[in-house]
Amino acid sequence: MAGQASQGFIPPHRGHAELIVFQATVCFCERFLSERDRTIDQMIRAARSGKQNIVEGSKVSGTSKEAEIKLLNVSRASLEELLEDFRDSLRKRKLSMWPKNSREATFVRKLAQRENVSYETYVETRSLEVW
């Protein structure tokens, strides 16, 4: 109870500056999808919506938990739509999705946690670390 009192009724909003879903989606679309593919626009819009609603929900969390929850639910729906587009892309290419705890998935999650990592850095470190 004492810990809650020091934070106040509504705790401060969490950081969101490190969200990379939008940049990663744009990079994926540019690299792997044809310019004529209508999915590109849908994926980029879903990624942006997901990110923006997290940002907005984080900002209002200091004043309204109800608004935060609504915005995070909108974000979740957008990101679920984006995930399904990624799954469709894999199926279309007859590629399998990595299991959540596979070496590859773990590596990519760790890579995403680093600061200032470009796709080129990923390609360079990929051959050195996990593969």
pLDDT digits (tens, 9 = 90+) for 6-65: 555 555 555 555 567 888 888 889 888 888 888 999 999 999 999 999 989 988 988 999
Residue 109: which domain range?
Answer: 98-131
Q: Are residues 65 and 85 in the same domain?
A: yes
In a domain, 8, yes or no: no
Q: Are residues 21 and 52 in the same domain?
A: yes
| The amino acid at 26 | V
Rounded-to-integer distance, Cα 30 and Cα 24, Å: 10
Q: Are residues 88 and 112 in the same domain?
A: no
Q: Are residues 86 and 112 in the same domain?
A: no
In a domain, 1, yes or no: no
Residue 71 · residue 53 · CB < 8 Å: yes
In a domain, 51, yes or no: yes
pLDDT at 128 over 50: no
Rounded-to-integer distance, Cα 75 and Cα 53, Å: 5
pLDDT at 127 over 60: no
Residue 75 · residue 57 · CB < 8 Å: yes
Q: Are residues 40 and 90 in the same domain?
A: yes
H or E segment to which residue 119 belongs: helix 119-128
Per-residue pLDDT band for 101 (boundaries 50, 70, 90) equals very high
Q: Are residues 103 and 42 in the same domain?
A: no
Average pLDDT over residues 103-115: 79
Rounded-to-integer distance, Cα 66 and Cα 76, Å: 15
In a domain, 28, yes or no: yes
